[in-house]
Chain A
Amino acid sequence: MTLLEVKDLHVHYRTLKGVVRAVEGVTFELGRGEALGIGGESGCGKSTLAFALMKLIPPPGRIVKGKVILDGKDLTGLPEDVLRKEVRWKEVSMVFQGAMNALCPVFTIGDQLAGPLMYHWGMSRREALERAAEALEMVGLHSDMLRRYPHELSGGQKQRVVIAMAILLNPKLIIADEPTTALDVIVQAQIMNLFKKLKKELSSSLVFITHDLSLIADIADKVAIMYGGKLVEFGPAEEVFIEPKHPYTHLLLSSIPRIDRRTKLTWIPGTPPDLRNPPPGCRFWPRCPHAMDICKKEEPPMVELGRGHRVLCHLYA
């Protein structure tokens, strides 16, 4: 059953130097209890897409076109007060990129977890603290943490606290934006284990955003690869990783250094497009080894390959 449907979504930032087309024509769907991994290089629009799923895009950003349908409701049409009261944190929550370093230093963990429950959802202090303690336990922390301050926590513990915030109200969809990027590899593995556990126990859907495709392989059922604001490949994890279709996905996967073998390192020459002024035609053609004439002139179509696998590329048209 589908939980989330994103249809032809366009998000732009209007800046003095021009319009940044951060998300352009993104379409995908996600089932209940499924995990979607969104990958791609820095600046390709991953975080912007995540913000759009909460309808919480920082200014000067704006959804200029398209729909985000969560559990049958089109969020793009809902007024801000409804979103605040009924949708955010309750239906969909987010672990923001870098959030573990944005915990407020002067409040205890308990205050930071229970506060919103009291002021936003009118719980009593006791109820709120009880709920906070439950959430902490879910993420593998003792309720003693409630009385502690952020500086008394290790990096991994802080990340667990931010994850606890995201699950306080049992949302149907949890978005995690680069939740392990600042962590060491052993702690990262512990946090990945936590996400796997939560996904199972809460039966929530998960949108997991990272530039590290290995982490996507580690958790996701579905994979979305973004390039220059566009979704260039989407499909079941096994298919996308084992038989990537888009030349970009293919090159991205082969540029990952492996621990199980020593290989000649490969890379993608050139740089990603300037989203204020993307190249005509396919956005990837200047870096694509298979670029044809048509790629430089016409935008590629989204080609259905079956089994929910889609690719935005002229090679398959």
Chain B
Amino acid sequence: MSAPTKELLVVEDLRKWFPVRRSLADVLAGRERRYVRAVDGVSFTVVCSEVFCLVGESGCGKTTTGRLIVRALRPTSGKMLYRVSEEVLDALRALHVRLEGDSFVDLAGRFRGKADKLLRREVQMILQDPYGSLNPRQTIRDILEEPLIIHGIGGSRDERLELVVKALKDVKLTPPEEFLDRYPHQLSGGQRQRVNIARALLLKPKLIVADEPVSMLDVSIRAEILQLMLELRDVKNLTYVFITHDLAVANNICDRIAVMYLGKIVELGPATEVIRNPLHPYTKALIAAIPEPDPRKGRAIKEVPIKGEVPNAVNVPPGCRLHPRCPYAEERCRREEPELKDVGGGHLVACHLY
């Protein structure tokens, strides 16, 4: 068992800029190439066996951050130091992979062949869309067998079947025989999301990036999937980077929360701290905007302190990114970008007010 404060992933000043396609007119006029600054200097540390949450409105860079971590995208700059598990460490050493410290690799680097596959097994992603992420023409058995074949796990078809059956049991799709030959459209949204989780687990990952895993599901069944994910964390000693736009979900399952706005983290800390005692004006607005299922609290016009909507990530405002919408903005906020500073107890905030 790992100690509770052992870092598993250390992300440092991570950036991903997507070039905006220029029209011929732009090129002829010599206009500069412009970028979508999807992730723009993000730093955080994920500790072993915690649920680390990235929250924020759509377009703030959550998914891009997640895809960078699972190496579906290559960063523009920055580091992602990942603590490799004991088993894989020896194999990587034998392959002469460059290590950082004695047990980290930088996931921002390039890896080839066997090393690449080993690292992909360690870090897996669960996608938001339980409908689009499963091939409709494959049976559940084929869907789950595929990663085993790709990674050469399980020598024979029988051995693989055994692993697939076990994975179905792990995600409580029982009895497994009933699901093996079904197609995705014969499953409910919740069951499909279980298949997605089973697929990620088959490779025995250590870190799972879960991108809005319940937001397409009915509220009535969300908790069932969340509870399953928490149980699997304990049984399989997993760590989650949990991406959500829903602070109430984050409040109920996360250990720590990082709030993102326009490609940056604006506040980070223990979940209870960030929710009970939000410091950043943006976090405060996010919390104030959440409706509650109590008619005694509602009905009146609700004051939402942040004006307007999130600007396009191509035109990031100078200084503090929130300043055009922030009720507290001062001269300094327009010029100087605030840094993420610790205000005590591991609670960090990027705001000139603090």
**Which positions in A face B, CB cutoff 8 Å?**
41-42, 154-157, 184-190, 192-193, 196-197, 211-215, 217-220, 237-238, 241-242, 251-253, 255-260, 262-263, 265-269, 271
Contact = CB atoms under 8 A, between A and B. Distances in A.
A241 B293 contact: yes
Contacts of B203: none
B301 A197 contact: yes
Contact of B57 (A185, A212, A255): A185
A198 to B, nearest CB: 12
B95 interface: no
Contacts of A241: 293-295
A267 B252 contact: no
Contacts of A192: 291, 302
Contacts of A155: 309
A252 B223 CA distance: 11
Interface string B265-280: 0000001100100000
B226 A258 contact: no
Size class of the B contact interface (CB-based, 8 Å): 35 or more
B253 interface: yes
A47 to B, nearest CB: 15
Given A197-B301, A241-B295, A258 B248 contact: yes
B251 interface: yes
Nearest to B253: A265
B24 interface: no
A219 B285 CA distance: 20
B173 to A, nearest CB: 13
Given A154-B309, A265-B227, A41 B220 contact: yes
B292 A260 contact: yes
A213 B286 CA distance: 19
Q: Which 3 A-B pairs have the closest CB atoms?
A: A265-B223, A218-B298, A189-B289
Contacts of A271: 188, 190, 221
A237 B299 CA distance: 11
B252 A257 contact: yes
B252 A265 contact: yes
Nearest to B300: A196
B299 A219 contact: yes
19 contacts: A42-B189, A155-B309, A186-B289, A186-B306, A186-B309, A189-B291, A189-B302, A192-B302, A196-B301, A212-B219, A214-B291, A252-B220, A258-B292, A259-B275, A262-B252, A263-B252, A267-B220, A267-B221, A269-B224
B291 A217 contact: yes
A41 B251 CA distance: 23
B218 interface: yes
A47 B245 CA distance: 25
B287 interface: yes
Contacts of A251: 220
Contacts of A257: 222-223, 246, 248-249, 251-252
Interface centre among A237, A257, A258, by most chain B C-beta atoms within 10 angstroms, is A257
B157 interface: no
Given A42-B218, A214-B292, 8 more contacts: A156-B309, A196-B301, A214-B290, A217-B294, A242-B296, A256-B219, A259-B290, A271-B188
A212 B217 CA distance: 12
B58 interface: yes
B36 interface: no
B304 interface: yes
A273 to B, nearest CB: 12
A217 to B, nearest CB: 5
A213 B293 CA distance: 6
Contacts of B310: 184
Contacts of B222: 255, 257, 265, 267
A253 B295 CA distance: 12
Contact of B223 (A157, A188, A196, A266): A266
Contacts of B309: 154-157, 184, 186-187
Contacts of A190: 304
B220 A185 contact: no
Given A238-B295, A271-B188, A41 B290 contact: no
B247 interface: yes
Nearest to B310: A184
B220 A268 contact: yes
B143 to A, nearest CB: 20
Contacts of B188: 271
A186 B57 contact: yes
A211 B275 CA distance: 24
B301 A193 contact: yes
Contact of B218 (A185, A211, A265): A211
A257 B294 CA distance: 13
Contacts of B296: 238, 242
B223 A255 contact: yes
Nearest to B254: A262
A298 B297 CA distance: 39
A238 B224 CA distance: 28
A81 to B, nearest CB: 39
Given A259-B248, A265-B253, A252 B298 contact: no
